[in-house]
Structure 1
Amino acid sequence: MNRLLLFALTGSLLFSGCASTAKAPPDPSVQRLQAQQGYDELDREMGDSKPLDIESSTAPIVATPSSPTRVVSQPTVVARPSQPAIVKTSVGQMPTLMVLPAAKAKEAQDILVIQNEPSTKAMMEAINAFLTQKQYEVKSLDGQGALDELIQMQQEIAGEEEDFSYLASLALGADIYLTFSGNVQGDMVVAEINAYETATARLLGSQTSEVKNNSGSNANMRALTQSAARKAMPGLEKKIQAYWNADQKNGVQYKAVIHIKGSYSESQTEDLHDVVLNTLKSIFNKVSVNSMTSKTIDMIVYADPQKYADSHEVYSAIRNSLKSTASISKKNISRKLLLMDLQ
């Protein structure tokens, strides 16, 4: 009995001793704290004072045998669908056009009669439709008011100008004017269209096209003339655009006519001419003289559109620049024409 009791007591003591010497499992929070302190110390040694958050899912730790390395995940970049390019139209920079029949008119009133003749009207409608579809601004000579302006323009510009297409484009402010004509040659319907720069009346380009008449005397001549006109326009438009893009580098063109009032000697007139031209050449890109008499200075002014937005600003620049020499007053100003008096 005593032996059994002693054996039991001994086993109990052995068990208690083992239990007392067994190590408790490590505390995870303590391990994390120790690890973070170690990494903080490493960062300070490397010059990085910002503590590392080892529990952040966006900054996982990758350990190597030599040294721990911190890998920071990059923010996710979401690719946006590409947007179509925005193409800016240049409607505001495109020339303003005017279309008139090429037939010579003896009087200004004759233009309205000619352009309302059926075949002429058909061609004009086809050309205007092409231009408006291309988003050009198209001026038209229509009504007594426009006709009165044209007659006044004829009287004020030298009094002898008989090219009413040129005068009309000046009066209504077109940058370029087109003249057209049509005729029948055998079984072909022919259209010829010319383009001119308004301020100088310079020919910019011509285009001729033909359409075959397959219906003989029963042909719809209106439709054929319109078809011929439409066929000519794409080629002529390319010539107009080439001129416009190249010429805009010199500046916007304005026809400026100065009427000299008062009596001046020949020497005084020449001095006045020199002062006017030299002054205007100093403020504009270019000045080209059409004609110069004792009573008139007719010229083309090339103005920088960044400095002078329109004809009114061009007029103000002329008036102010010559103020110390003479008094300038306006008689008539349109989009492309400046008529002034000097005294």
Structure 2
Amino acid sequence: METLLLDPEDVADNARTEEVIVAVEEAFAAYQHGNVQMPAKSYIELPEYSGDFRSMPAYMAADEWDAAGVKWVNVHTDNPEGYDLPTVMGTMIYSNPRNAFPLAIMDGTTLTRQRTGAAAAVATDHLAVEDATSLGIVGAGVQSYTQLEAISVVRDIEEVVVADKRQSAVEAFVDRFAEEFDVRGGSIAEAAGCDVLSTVTPVRSPIVDAVGEHTHVNAMGADAEGKQELDPEILLDAKVVIDDYEQCTHSGEINVPWSRGLLDDGDLYGELGEIVTGAKAGRTPEDGVTVFDSTGLAIQDVATAHVVYERANEDGEGTPYALVDTEVR
């Protein structure tokens, strides 16, 4: 047996968006049904290097398959200027839970972008108005691309407004999608007035002051204590759905107003797993603004890795490598 090495291009080619969305939705369902093991994300803080390491292990059992893996990811803010490296890099080890064999080692950075877009699509499918045709995106970095690619699978998106203080990033985004959508740069307020809004920035003070009366918001950027993108008043007036209680109250979009006592349990509608399994209703005719607070779960990485590995293995892609000495007993 050999381990598949899958580089960024391999992961991108085999993370078929429609299949990843289905797998990520299955991950949320497995979580709701208690068919996962997902220890808390652990951190190694390295202030002397302006960075940290994070490990995210998980096991999940869907109806017809199960999988396990761990993502090892960093955030080193000095990397671009000091080392000509990305700020964030990730590596995913994907294993067979039956015998622990490492089936694949793959690029975790591309994997993260794919599963984050898929999570937003799952939430949008359950919480946005059925006839949503416009999508606003705040933040035109690498995460913004998979937001549009995935959300356009679950809603018939026609108009896209992207906002970013970096004009070059807006132009690159528009150039990428100009032949597929009516896409343009605009203000944060214009983006926030769309039927669906995804925020994908690392800011630590609110940049979105208000949204449309029936806008669904995917708050994707806050993934650490102190980060927030939305004015707390938006949350207080919205149906708020989270991915995980512990992670969201500690490091999600709700973490700052939560720590200040502006939000409590009564302001949370439920977790996305409850909605995808039918334990709680998604959007109802009475709903106005809905918000999905996404911190990113390790089971999403495992589910996406499952899709990537199965497709790559079936199509003979990737580089086989004898990582394990199978002669040793």
**Greater helix proportion:** 1
Larger of the two Rg values belongs to structure? 1
Q: Which structure would you say has the larger RCO, counting Cα contacts within 8 Å and 6 or more residues apart?
A: 2
Q: Same fold (TM over 0.5)?
A: no
| TM-score (normalised: structure 2) | 0.25
| TM-score (normalised: structure 1) | 0.24
